[in-house]
Structure formats: C-alpha cells, structure tokens
Amino acid sequence: MQWEVVIGLETHTQLRTASKIFSGASTQFGADVNTQACPVDLALPGVLPVLNRQAVEHAIRFGLAIGAAIAPVSIFARKNYFYPDLPKGYQISQYEIPVVLGGHLEIVVGDTTKVIELTRAHLEEDAGKSVHEDFIGPHGEPSSGIDLNRAGTPLLEIVTEPVMRSAAEAVAYAKTLHSLVVWLGVCDGNMQEGSFRCDANVSVRPMGQEAFGTRCEIKNLNSFRFLEEAIQYEIRRQIELIEDGGTVVQETRLYDPDKQETRSMRSKEDAQDYRYFPDPDLLPLVIDEAWIESIRSTMPALPAQLKQQWQDAFGLSRYDAELLTQDRATAALFEELLLILGKPLAKAAANWMTGDFASTLNRAGMSAADSPLNASHLAPLISRVADGTISNKIAKDIFADLWKEALEGQIKSTVDSIIESKGLKQISDSGELGTLIDQVMQANSAFVDEFRAGKEKAFNALVGQVMKASQGKANPQQVNELLRKKLS
Amino acid sequence: MSWHLSSVAMLAKALEAKAVSSTELASHFLARIQAGGRWNAFLDVNPALTMEQAASADRIRADGKAGKLTGIPLAHKDVFVTRGWKSTAASKMLLDYQSPFDAAVVERLGMPSEQNPGGAGMVCLGKANMDEFAMGSSNENSAFGPVLNPWNPACVAGGSSGGSAAAVAAGLAPIATGTDTGGSIRQPAALCGLTGIKPSYGRVSRYGMIAYASSLDQAGPIGKTAEDCALLLSAMSHHDPRDSTSLADSGEDYGRYLNAAWDASASAAKPLTGLRVGLPIEFFSEGLADGVAKSVREGASQLQALGATLVEVSLPKTKLSIPVYYVLAPAEASSNLSRFDGVRYGHRTNEYRDLSEMYKKSRTEGFGSEVKRRILIGAYVLSHGYYDAYYLQAQRIRRIIAADFQTAFAQCDLILGPVTPDVAWKFGEKSNDPLQMYLADIYTLSTNLAGLPAMSVPCGFSQDLPIGMQLIGNYFSEARLLQVAHQYQQATDWHLRQPSEVL
C-alpha cells in the first residue's frame, strides 16, 4: 500500500518584547529563578492584565509579511485549567477570533517550490516552568519547584493547514518560518532558549483517499533535527501500526531525542474541558487601518522579494540570492555594498559575499550579524579588483589580513594601506611587464620552444612563471596579451 | 465629643477650623471600633499604623497642603488589598494574607507620597467585614462571622459590603469603601439607613480589588449623606492604566451639581423642576413589601414636591436579571477564583498525597459553601456543551436588559424604585434557601448587568428598620444622581436618623 503523509504545524514563537504580554516584568532569558515575576505574573489577589502593545505590533507585522488578514477586532479568552506553573489557573489566549487570519508562506524543497497555507496566528501568554528533577523542597524533601520567570512571556502561535506531505517539507517550512520571524525582528529565533517551538500534527492515509487519517500531535519540538526525526518516527509508527491491523489513536505524544521515538503523553479521552470564555479583564483588541498602515510603513523588504529582485536585476543565481537573503544582516551588508559600489559591481559583491566572506564566517562559527568587518571594509577590496589595482588573489590575502586584525580587536589597516605597505599594486605598466616577460622567456626557453611547436599548454606555464616572478602582482590579462604578442 | 455623628463634610470643616486634629479623630474612632466589637464590622485593625497615618495627615495640614479629605478616617472593605492590614476577602483561603501592594482605591484615598502624589490623605481605620469574596446579600457568608445590623442586632446588615455599612451606621467610621457586583453597596446601605453609590462601570479602578465577577464589579462609597459620597467618589475615581476596563476620562468633581437647580426653569422652592423621574412598573409589583413600597412612593412624592415630574416606565426584563446574573457572575468567579490553589499563597491543606489531592483539599477547606456553590455553577455553565445555552444566552439577555434601560431613559432622566423587596431580615431566615437570598437582589442586579450608576438613599422605616430608595441614572450621570439625592436630603431627615445604640 502507498501511504500519503499529512502534516500540520503549530509553532509557538516567542515575541521579542522587553516586557511580558500582560505585565511590566522583564522577559530577559537566564535570570535567577523567580526574579522576573511581578505580582501580575504571580497572580496575586487583585492584579489585572494590561496588553503589551509591542506584542500586538509584532503580530501585525507577521500577519502583513505572510499576506494574512489582520482582524479588526479580536478577543482574548481564558483557557481554564489547574497546574502549578499556571498561576492564575487560566491562560490568556485568543480562541475564537485570533489577530491574524490566513496567509501563506513559500518554501523550497529540493528544486520544488511549494506554498504552505496558514490557518491563523494568535497571541497568548506562556506558562511558567516546573522543575521536577533534583529539586529539594524547603524541608529537604524531594519536591517540585516552579519558576515563573517565563510566565506571561508573549507568544504568537502560528498554525498551518494540514498541507505538508513529508518531514522534509515540515522542516523546510519550519526553517523558512524561523528565518522570516527573525528577519522581521518579531522573534530572536533562539531555539535552545525555547523561543521557537513546534508541535507537529501527523497522520497518514492511503494514497488517493480524501479523508484524513487519525492524527497524533507531537509536542514541543525545539530543534529542526528533532522535528524531522520525530515526524519520521511517527510516520513509520503509524504505518506499521495500521499495516499490522491496528488503528491510530488520537493523542498527544512527546518525542524522546535519546531514544529517537515518540511516546504517548495523553489521549483524547483525557482531554480537558478548558471552559474558554472571553476574558472580562481585557477589552476586545481593536486594530484600525491607521495602526496597520503605520506598521506596514516600517516593514523591511521581505527575503522573498529581495531574492527575486536581485536575480532579475543583477543576474544572480537563485542559489546566490538564497544565500544573500538567509538573514537580515547578510542582506543588509549586501545592500550596503551595492550602495557604496554601485549596481555594476553587484555581481562582484555577491561573489565576494558568497565566497571568501561566507566561508570565513562559517569557519569562525559566525553569522553576518557577528561579522567584525562591515561594508566599509569590504567595498574597497571589491572596487580595487574591479579597477585593476589588485588581482583577485591578492584581494583574498588582504581580506585575510583584515579579518585577522578584526579578530585581534582593532582594524588598523585599510585595503589601500595594505596595498601600499606591502607593495601589492598590480603591475599594469606594459614596459615593466614587457621586461619581466622577456626575462621569463629567456629563463624558460624550453617552454617557448614547446609553445612554438604547437603545445598550447606551454603558454599557461609561461603565464604562471610571469605571475610568480611578479609575486602575483602582474595583471594576468595584460600578461596574456603581451606574451602572445611576443611569442607570435 | 460625638464626632461619629458627624458627616465627612462636617469633619472636614472641623479639621480645617482646627476644632479637631486627625490624630484626635483617629483615636476617637479606634476607641469606638474597640468598644463596638459586637457588630463584627471589622476583620483587622492596626492602631499603630492608623495613628501614624493620622499624624502624617496632621503634618500635611500644618504644612498647608491639606486637601478636602486629608485626615478624615475611613474603613476599607476587605476586598481591597492593603499593605499593613491583612487582606482576606473574609475567606479562610486568605487567612493572614498580606498584600505587598495597595489597591488603586486604597492608594487614591490614602496618604500622598512620591509614588502616590494623588493620595487624598485619608486615614485607614482597618478592614471591614464582608461576605466571602463578596458573594452574598447578608454577610452571613463571612468566614469570620456575620455582621450585626446596628438598627437591630438580631438582623442582618446586608451584603456583601455589610461590614462597611455597619461600621458607618454604628459610628465606627465616618465613611467606608464598598464594592457592588449585584447590589453589594446599595443593599447594605439600604438595610443600615445609609447613602451609597455604585458608579458606572469603569469609573473606579479595579486594580487591587479581589475580583469576584470582573465585568460587574465596581467600587464606591457608603456614607451618611449624598454629599459625603460625592466627596469620596471624586477622590476614588480616576483613570488607571493598570485596569484595562478603567475609563479614559474618569476624573471629575461629582459634587459640582449638589446645590444647583436641575435646570434653568427651576425655582428655589422647586429646585428639581424639569427632572423627569421614571417609576418602573416592574419595581412596584408582587414581592415588594407594603412598608417598603409605601416609603419609596413617598420618596417619589417628595421629589415631585421639589418640582420633579413622575412618569411610569417599564423594564420588562427585570425578572430575568436574576438568572442572567447567576450565570454570568459565577462563570467569571469560577475562573477568577482559580488562582486560590494553595500553590503560591493562601491556605494549603496539611496533608496530601499528590498534586490533585492538594488542590482538592486546599480548596475544599479554604472556601465557604456559597463560594463553592458559585464556582460549581460557573464551571458548569462554561463547560463544553452548556456554554451556548447558558453563558452565551445570558450575555444576549444582558444586552437586552441594557437596551431596556435606554428605552426607559428616553422617557425620564432617572429611574426610582426600591433597593430591596423588604427591610433587613433576621439571621438564618434565608441562609438555608439560596434562591430566596438571590431574589432579594432583584432590584439591584440589572444595573450591574447594564453597567449603570445607581445609589441608595434612606427614605423611611418599617418595623423600626431603615428603607432605601434606589436612584438609577444613565451612564456617567453620577453627579446628577448625587444632586437629586442631595436635594432630597435637604428636604428630609431620614439620612440623619441614627440607631439608638450610637447616640
């Protein structure tokens, strides 16, 4: 039997705000336990929530980026359940009417482009954290601890339609979404700190069947690798189960990265009645056109737009355009280079960025945002190659020098000062080159003879010798021309 | 001296004239609180802190920085959290609970400071008894015992702000704060012969008010006169960014019309000429005690004598306000009270095997029976499969009830009726029959559902117990309501009567 896989993702994206979604406490990660929980987060008697405007603006920004509708009025509801890390006994979340409706995201898997439809994105608060292991209570007894630093952290839960058909597609979607929310500045994207967590809804059905199979939800996948492994395991598990005559039970499952398997957490029968109702402490969230427009006007150009634009305008390959839009710092650096160098050097700038610059960053384990070299360092390198002052090879050496200085903490040199001090200026003077070529031809008469006997290869050997004699400074094109003239 | 017989306005004059100091007033009332323990009006006092506040009020006055209310003592309903006094909401769940912050109302009325420049400088005498979590109409639901009615100790003082009302009626405090979710200011004010006002929803910040039903809760004063209520409400009401339902523009002098004529056509003898008073037929039908009906009608006649015209209006959905209220208020309460789980503060049971048992035992032991009843009702009406039939339906009728008021206000400027079907009842009379108890709120619930301002004004006696007349205004018409009540009180002396025990 041929099976078709159906996957939908729910992603909890932590919004980048200074304070929590309903209180003034800081959202900074890594503070001492319970030091970032104010009376509102602790749900002390008498406290009330006040909505963080920044969180709403992030939601709007995201909605605009995916071409979604922004609800003119959306409602915060209470999701009621008891748990020690949920201080109020309810979570404030948007239920019936979310702030972002619809929208879509384009992903690339291999050579194929696919559009992923989104269902909704809604604002909600995070819960605190329960610490069960190695926690000793006040009387020395093994106990559970509650850290409420995270309680009230703003989240945007982004939900897709069940439109993905493989683990690879799910991962591609998650990566694209991740880079988009980071690009937009609405999320810091730090997966280890839990800023971006996925729940995957997975089911299988016989190929061609219209009705969905019974789905399982795998919770809290906080790395792309776990997402892929968990989905792949779950697909295998469900197919084997059905092929062995069993049936899939709708349930929530957890992924164990050590054993690389999912296991049941709770079944649908245990599903709680959350008794949702509109939170009477919060007014309906009203977003007017003016607010939306003010955010639209501050939106950065989106990676998809830039990618297309750069391919069309500068003849960049899709791969290069992809690399240059992998994050906002890379794209910004490229745009700055364009500004300094002008459009005719766009291709050269792109080659630099995707070449030595990218590989150097890679080796250092850095992203463009961490780069100690900026556009004002890189631009002269590209323009000096373009105007023939130095060769590409020399440029690479200068780049290495600059990088070294930057890592040592102080960039003392400029491209020009290095060219000057090391005498790296390309030899383009035909008189000077002519003398040099004459010397090389004398010292390598064997090659000269071979060439004249019809061996084209010998020509290259001669060019190599000239370059070597010039310590790489000779303008290779000129050497070519002069040498040919002299040999003919 | 008999300062406890004086109104706040009179005390303010005496303080200004240096006839008395804040410290002297505070001592006087603290002594009366100590001697008046039998009323069970207070849950916590802290004489040292009270005297400290009084001393600083005197200093403020000596510095020439005193406002209208500086140095006047008051009692706060225990539903407001306070630093320095326990905040229990009359529940065993919060036995000994100390809040790290003051409620907005406590701040607004309290001592001014750098953090609280707007503080009115009033002196807190302590925390007033109430029905547990403000759920009740008789104060019999307090975990710390019922409040006795100063007019007859065998009778209830009303609820849920029973301690606030009894404290003022018994002369233990010149004025007190209360909260009104379904009548909890107006009903005890009526049963204790006092004046109380529940302002429009959103006038007074709910920050620091232990929530019962968030969409209905509203704070207000209980005092001896309309003038006193205007003074206190003007100080309490303000925009508070910590409460999302607080009105943007809430600062106003609610006493600005007190001595004004209703409109330009009015004469000195008939200052209320031009005022149209609506009497809802549904408020004067079956279930209303004769003695109450008579006094309230006399109150209406008195307004007529002052120039007002009386018109008959209809509020056809009045009866439905009871089921609607007892769906919506418990629904919100069931969720609001979830935070009392024994995890972070409040009562936690001594022994438990696991988390679930800890929750169950802590909440079973910590909450009283009426609170449990409302949590159960609330959880039920919100549960899957019942939500539409109960909660959503109740919300729909709530809107119809609010619309009915607007229809009535097309014909009149304010609505007049009784506050309660009868005068204060004897202890135990209704406590075994929750439905009977709920019916006692029939005239007050609808204004909370609509969010309208309403007040209770003393208008007579029956069986030697006071009767309250209710005045209901349209949104934000508090100053006009207080004007009518004040003019009425200039022509009558019901509000000046005091229980014999107090004299």
Chain centroid to Cα B400, Å, comes to 25
Residue A396: per-residue pLDDT: 87
Contacts with B81 (C-beta within 8 Å, 6 or more apart), sequence order:
A44, A45, A46, B87, B99, B101, B102, B103, B106, B208, B209, B210
Residues in B touching A270 (Cβ below 8 Å): none
Residue-wise pLDDT for B91-144, tens only, equals: 999 999 999 999 999 999 999 999 999 999 999 999 999 999 999 999 999 999
d(CA A4, CA A336): 46
Residues in A touching B339 (Cβ below 8 Å): 43, 45, 87-89
B184 a catalytic residue? yes
B160 a catalytic residue? yes
Q: What is the mean pLDDT of residues B359-380?
A: 98
What is the ipTM for the molecules in this complex? 0.96
Residue-wise pLDDT for A241-290, tens only, equals: 999 999 999 999 999 999 988 999 887 766 789 999 999 999 999 999 99
- Of the residues A22, A40, A42, A44, the best mutation for testing chain B's interface (the one with the most B CB atoms within 10 Å of its CB) is A44
B289/chain A closest Cα distance in angstroms: 36
How large is the C-alpha radius of gyration of chain A?
30
**Is B379:B150 a contact under the CB 8 Å cutoff?**
no
**Is A394:A472 a contact under the CB 8 Å cutoff?**
yes
pLDDT at A467 over 80: yes
Residue-wise pLDDT for B310-353, tens only, equals: 999 999 999 999 999 999 999 999 999 999 999 999 999 999 99
d(CA A205, CA B19): 89
More confident residue, A99 or B428: A99
- Of the residues A48, A50, A283, the best mutation for testing chain B's interface (the one with the most B CB atoms within 10 Å of its CB) is A48
Residue-wise pLDDT for B14-72, tens only, equals: 999 999 999 999 999 999 999 999 999 999 999 999 999 999 999 999 999 999 999 99
pLDDT at A430 over 80: no
Residues in A touching B213 (Cβ below 8 Å): 280
E strands within A110-260? Answer: 112-125, 129-131, 145-147, 154-160, 196-206, 216-221, 251-256
E strands within B148-208? Answer: 148-149, 152-156, 176-179, 195-198
Q: What is the mean pLDDT of residues B451-456?
A: 98
Nearest residue on chain A to B379, alpha-carbon basis: A275
More confident residue, B251 or A323: A323
CB pair distance less than 8 Å for B241 and A283: no
Please give the CATH number for the structural domain made up of B3-236.
3.90.1300.10
More confident residue, A371 or B172: B172
- Chain A residues contacting B via beta carbons under 8 Å: 39, 42-51, 78, 80, 82, 84, 87-90, 146, 273, 275-277, 280-283
d(CA B135, CA B109): 25
**Is A145:A106 a contact under the CB 8 Å cutoff?**
no
pTM: 0.90
For A273, the closest of B244, B359, B383 (CB atoms) is: B383
For B94, the closest of A42, A45, A51 (CB atoms) is: A45
- CB count, 10 Å around CB of A194? 16
Nearest residue on chain A to B88, alpha-carbon basis: A45
**Alpha helices of A315-374 — where are they, by DSSP H?**
318-324, 328-341, 346-352, 358-364
Contacts with B25 (C-beta within 8 Å, 6 or more apart), sequence order:
B3, B11, B15, B54, B71, B72, B73, B123
CB pair distance less than 8 Å for A84 and B383: no
- The candidate with the shortest Cα–Cα distance to B41, out of B181, B143, B168, is B168
Percent of chain B with pLDDT over 90: 94
Residues in A touching B209 (Cβ below 8 Å): 46
pLDDT at B297 over 80: yes
Residue A463: per-residue pLDDT: 86
Q: How many helices (H) and strands (E) does chain B have?
A: 15, 13
User: Which one is catalytic: B160, B200, B205, B237?
Assistant: B160
Per the prediction, chain B carries an average pLDDT of 96
Residue A439: per-residue pLDDT: 87
User: Which one is catalytic: B21, B22, B77, B334?
Assistant: B77
List the domain boundaries for chain B: 3-236
Residues in B touching A88 (Cβ below 8 Å): 338-339
- Of the residues B106, B343, B377, the best mutation for testing chain A's interface (the one with the most A CB atoms within 10 Å of its CB) is B343
CB pair distance less than 8 Å for B341 and A82: yes
Residue A421: per-residue pLDDT: 78
More confident residue, A423 or B446: B446
For A50, the closest of B208, B241, B355 (CB atoms) is: B241
> Alpha carbon of B420 to those of B139, B159, B288: distances in Å?
15, 12, 8
Angle at B211 between CA B437 and CA B169, to 5 degrees: 55
Per the prediction, chain A carries an average pLDDT of 91
Residue B24: per-residue pLDDT: 98
B229/chain A closest Cα distance in angstroms: 24
**Alpha helices of B79-203 — where are they, by DSSP H?**
104-109, 162-169, 186-191
d(CA A37, CA A121): 26
Residues in B touching A42 (Cβ below 8 Å): 344
d(CA A421, CA B245): 71
CB pair distance less than 8 Å for B387 and A277: yes
pLDDT at B268 over 90: no
A161/chain B closest Cα distance in angstroms: 25
B329/chain A closest Cα distance in angstroms: 11
Residue A215: per-residue pLDDT: 95
Residues in A touching B81 (Cβ below 8 Å): 44-46
Residue-wise pLDDT for B391-427, tens only, equals: 999 999 999 999 999 999 999 999 999 999 999 999 9
d(CA B382, CA B385): 8
CB pair distance less than 8 Å for A277 and B99: no
Residue B3: per-residue pLDDT: 95
